[in-house]
Structure 1
Amino acid sequence: MEGSEIAQEALEQAQQMWSFAEGWVMSPAAWSQFALLVVAFVMALLVARRARPLLTRLLTPPKEQTHALARLRRFVLVFVPLLLPLLAYLFTGLGESVTRSVFGSGAVIAFGKRVFLFIAVRILVREIIHDPLMKVLGRYVLIPVAALYALGLLDPAMQKLDETIVPLGNLSFSLLFAIRFLIVGGAIFWLGRWSNEQSNQFIKKQEEMRPAMRELTAKAMEIAIFGVAFLLVMNIMGISLTSLAVLTGVIGVGLGFGLQKIASNFISGVILLLEGQATVGDYVELDGGEAGTIVKMTARATILETFDGRWIVVPNEDFITTRVVNFSDQGSANRYEAPFSVSYDTDINLIPDIVEAAVAKHPGVLDKPFPPDCELRGFGDSGVDFAVEFWVEGIDDGKNKFMSDVLFLIWNALKDNSIEIPYPQRVVELKGSIETRSS
């Protein structure tokens, strides 16, 4: 009995759908809407074909331009692929207003308008958005929402999601609230990250500021931007900040126990930036033997790059609690010395002038704070030991930069003046006679 009732109900639904489709096919209003839909698309296609090359030419700045207006033009240029579906959406909307005023209905053309909007959303997600987080949100949230809107099912779906409550302890929220939170939060924090990148680039170009002050300003801007983004998300979603008191207490307990190292490193990083004793570009060496050029200072750690291209992650706390040798001190000069020896047959009174003049020819060797200084260091087993001290701007790149060039200059200067550079020699003394055997 139940099977026959279900079959009878399905048959009635099929008859109603057939009657609706038959009425739609025979309706002049439906055909006129379909014709207007085609006209709107053709018009959008023709306008887009003419306007797209013009817009591309106007929005493409020269490659050498990097100012704010050029960056804005490049940003707008990315959205040119949306021109066709948006024009079709606009012209279809005009056609919808005409059909509703003439026939009193516009269901067909309204459906076409929603389809064009869905196409625009699909192009946006597939071709324009490149950020991984926003691409995931677009693929699994924005495109399905646009598809439901195009089919006219968005309102029932939202109502169903709003009625579906997810319990979470003493709290509960609907699936619709969770989806809205993901979309709004993701968009705001993406915008915050983009704003942070732009502000960092602007601050790092301010060369009149000390490097430490630039880093500190950049960190302050980062904290401010994401703090505002967090408060904005809470406000948009209607979440009272007083309800976060329990969460804040839990975070405080975590900082007191498991997160104390992270908090210590964060505060140490702020102290480093405030004092300016070590900043990006400095070559430092720690007590533990880690040495390299500071290439980045994060909230938790400082990144050192060694001469062989490796990165060393050093917690900020180590810069506060251990001894740190800063060879650069924001670009100050450094002293090196190159040892060498000459033969005992040499007139050693001539050596200082010859070597100092030769080393001074190197373009990287400085006259201040002191010019090259050749000193007698001792009398060795094989020759007379000298060393020339010289100052350069920056750090010797391993063993084969300033030092190698200076040693070449010393070698050539000594050879040009016929001064012998000794090599180790040993004298063997034999006592007594040497017996020989006759065969």
Structure 2
Amino acid sequence: MEGQPEIVQQLWSWVEPGWQVAQDWLTSPAAWSQFALLVAAFVLARIVSQRLTPIAERLLTPPEGRSGMIVTARLFVRRFLPLMLPLLAWVFTAMGEEITRSIFGSGAVIAFGKRVFLFLAARLFVRAVLTDPFLRVLGRYVLIPVSFVYAVGLLDDLTLRLEETIIALGNIKFSLMALIRGLIAGSLLFWLGAWSNRQSADYIKAQQELRPATRELAIKAAEVMIFGAAFLLLMSIMGIDLTAVAVLGGALGVGIGLGLQQIAANFVSGIILLLEGQTTVGDYVELDGGEKGTIVKMTARACVLETFDGKWIVVPNEHFITTRVVNYSDQGSANRYEAEFSVSYDTDINKVPEIIETAVAALPFVLKTPDGPDCELRGFGDSAVNFAVEYWVNGIDDGKNRFGSPVLFAIWNALKEHGIEMPYPQRVVHHRHETPPEPPKPRRRRAEA
């Protein structure tokens, strides 16, 4: 290779050892016997897997309609059945390796075959077993390349080279291998943390005996603990001294003091809201700023309000602590509303309360407790007698429920049924007719003589 470009010589220096090994294997009877053993192990593994796979399918497939932890575990194990062939080939090859080493004193080809079977198992694991998109990307670009490098026998050399490459960031020093290991471990840890957080949140939300505020607080506490533990474990995996993290924490504290006051205030306000429980998910609230709606989500930074027309309003938690908040209570409690109406002065107003209370009480959503409908005389207007009926409903008339419209229809129909008039505004105009005085007639001039 003399006289060739430097890059070609460098590539040949990497390829030459493998070429020498291949030549040795092709000319060695021991190597040929090991190749034959690999083929025999693969054929045997294929026969065994074809016989065992249907049996395993029947054992691991649960009856239709069943559910529970055992069913979930059986379905989880069944997903790994595609790996049976390469793993059985690896097992049979490992068993034959001992025989080959005892006879020929060498097992390089067998060891290479075992690594190849593991590489095939890794490819099948990524393609047939993994279903999560993030894990499939991680397997495609991390697991498969690493298993290939391991199969060709270069993993130890590559790892050593990466360990010797040092990166320094101020007082923090770590190797390139530690950085790669940290990226991979961090991706897995935080994916596992997100999955654990979802599982714990679903479990906590299912505990209906806890108050909504308590459930939200428990979910946030579990989230902080899970991701805090993942961060500390990642620092340990990367080999970073935790004293350096303390310095970073001090800098972060200065940053909070200088520019992140609002974020910190919202975070603390969110914890206070969850601890007090006076405002929680499901409550219909109205703030001083005019925002109103049902709280559908409470995060560490803000609360999300859903208006009756489907819009979401994100309100910082601090507003719930520093401003006046009207809480109409959760949608499962009773609330009182009223509807106003008027009748003519010609009406016998003593009959009106009974007629209206009966009509409103007949509506299916009107409650009898804590009190039934109550019709009250409110005053005497210019052209009508003013009444109002008060009624209780289970929920909030926030635009979704619309209790007011059926009540007004019931009032109208009841009054019409009993011949009671709801008058228009009336005005009495007095017109005084007087004959205007006749204007003075102009005097005629005497004719000149």
- Which TM-score bucket, shorter chain as reference? 0.7 to 0.9
1:46-78 alpha-carbon deviations (Å, 9 max, x no partner): 444454455455555578666444444444444
- Tell me how far 1:297 sits from its aligned partner: 1.2
User: CA, structure 1 residues 244+281, in 2 after alignment: closer, same or farther (shift >3 Å)?
Assistant: same
The equivalent of 2:3 in structure 1 is 3
The equivalent of 2:221 in structure 1 is 220
The equivalent of 1:437 in structure 2 is none
The equivalent of 2:138 in structure 1 is 137
Supply the RMSD in Å over aligned alpha carbons.
3.6
User: CA, structure 1 residues 140+262, in 2 after alignment: closer, same or farther (shift >3 Å)?
Assistant: same
Is the 1:266–1:299 contact (alpha carbons within 8 Å) kept by the matching residues of 2?
yes
User: CA, structure 1 residues 345+157, in 2 after alignment: closer, same or farther (shift >3 Å)?
Assistant: same
The equivalent of 1:318 in structure 2 is 319
Is the 1:365–1:392 contact (alpha carbons within 8 Å) kept by the matching residues of 2?
yes
User: CA, structure 1 residues 252+206, in 2 after alignment: closer, same or farther (shift >3 Å)?
Assistant: same
The equivalent of 1:108 in structure 2 is 109
- Tell me how far 1:375 sits from its aligned partner: 1.9
The equivalent of 2:173 in structure 1 is 172
The equivalent of 2:302 in structure 1 is 301
The equivalent of 2:255 in structure 1 is 254
Deviation larger for 157-166 or 189-198: 189-198
- Tell me how far 1:5 sits from its aligned partner: 12
SS at match of 1:328: strand
The equivalent of 2:190 in structure 1 is 189
* Amino acid across the alignment from 2:195: W
How many Å separate the matches in 2 of 1:65 and 1:427?
80
Structure 2 unmatched runs, 5+: 435-449
1:91-130 alpha-carbon deviations (Å, 9 max, x no partner): 3333333433343333333323322322332343345445
Is the 2:378–2:387 contact (alpha carbons within 8 Å) kept by the matching residues of 1?
yes
SS at match of 1:173: strand
Is the 1:340–1:387 contact (alpha carbons within 8 Å) kept by the matching residues of 2?
yes
Is the 1:282–1:331 contact (alpha carbons within 8 Å) kept by the matching residues of 2?
no
How many Å separate the matches in 1 of 2:416 and 2:44?
85
How many Å separate the matches in 1 of 2:13 and 2:217?
73
How many Å separate the matches in 1 of 2:361 and 2:332?
21
- Tell me how far 1:391 sits from its aligned partner: 1.5
How many Å separate the matches in 2 of 1:419 and 1:12?
107
User: CA, structure 1 residues 373+119, in 2 after alignment: closer, same or farther (shift >3 Å)?
Assistant: farther
* Amino acid across the alignment from 2:146: V
* Amino acid across the alignment from 2:315: V
Deviation larger for 183-192 or 293-302: 183-192
Is the 1:296–1:302 contact (alpha carbons within 8 Å) kept by the matching residues of 2?
yes
* Amino acid across the alignment from 2:162: L
- Tell me how far 1:183 sits from its aligned partner: 1.9
Is the 1:45–1:84 contact (alpha carbons within 8 Å) kept by the matching residues of 2?
yes
* Amino acid across the alignment from 1:34: F
Is 1:388 paired with 2:389? yes
SS at match of 2:269: helix
1:245-272 alpha-carbon deviations (Å, 9 max, x no partner): 2112111111111222211111111111
* Amino acid across the alignment from 2:277: G
| Correspondence 1:70-89 to 2 at 5 A | 70-89=71-90
* Amino acid across the alignment from 1:378: G
Larger Rg: 2
SS at match of 1:265: helix
* Amino acid across the alignment from 1:388: V
SS at match of 1:337: strand
SS at match of 2:119: helix
1:289-327 alpha-carbon deviations (Å, 9 max, x no partner): 111111111111111112222221111111111111111
The equivalent of 1:374 in structure 2 is 375
Percent same amino acid among aligned pairs? 65
User: CA, structure 1 residues 239+21, in 2 after alignment: closer, same or farther (shift >3 Å)?
Assistant: closer
How many Å separate the matches in 2 of 1:238 and 1:15?
36
- Tell me how far 1:193 sits from its aligned partner: 2.1
How many Å separate the matches in 1 of 2:424 and 2:10?
109
Deviation larger for 424-433 or 158-167: 424-433
How many Å separate the matches in 1 of 2:269 and 2:151?
54
- Tell me how far 1:338 sits from its aligned partner: 2.2
How many Å separate the matches in 2 of 1:276 and 1:15?
72
* Amino acid across the alignment from 2:102: S
Is the 1:192–1:225 contact (alpha carbons within 8 Å) kept by the matching residues of 2?
yes
The equivalent of 1:362 in structure 2 is 363
Is the 2:330–2:395 contact (alpha carbons within 8 Å) kept by the matching residues of 1?
no
How many Å separate the matches in 1 of 2:278 and 2:400?
26
The equivalent of 2:96 in structure 1 is 95
Q: TM-score under structure 1 normalisation?
A: 0.85
The equivalent of 2:271 in structure 1 is 270
Q: TM-score under structure 2 normalisation?
A: 0.83
How many Å separate the matches in 1 of 2:357 and 2:232?
65
- Tell me how far 1:146 sits from its aligned partner: 1.4
How many Å separate the matches in 2 of 1:100 and 1:179?
36
The equivalent of 2:201 in structure 1 is 200
* Amino acid across the alignment from 2:387: F
Is the 1:216–1:273 contact (alpha carbons within 8 Å) kept by the matching residues of 2?
yes
SS at match of 1:30: helix
- Tell me how far 1:335 sits from its aligned partner: 1.4
The equivalent of 2:123 in structure 1 is 122
The equivalent of 1:154 in structure 2 is 155
1:352-402 alpha-carbon deviations (Å, 9 max, x no partner): 222222222333222222222122233456644332211122222406632
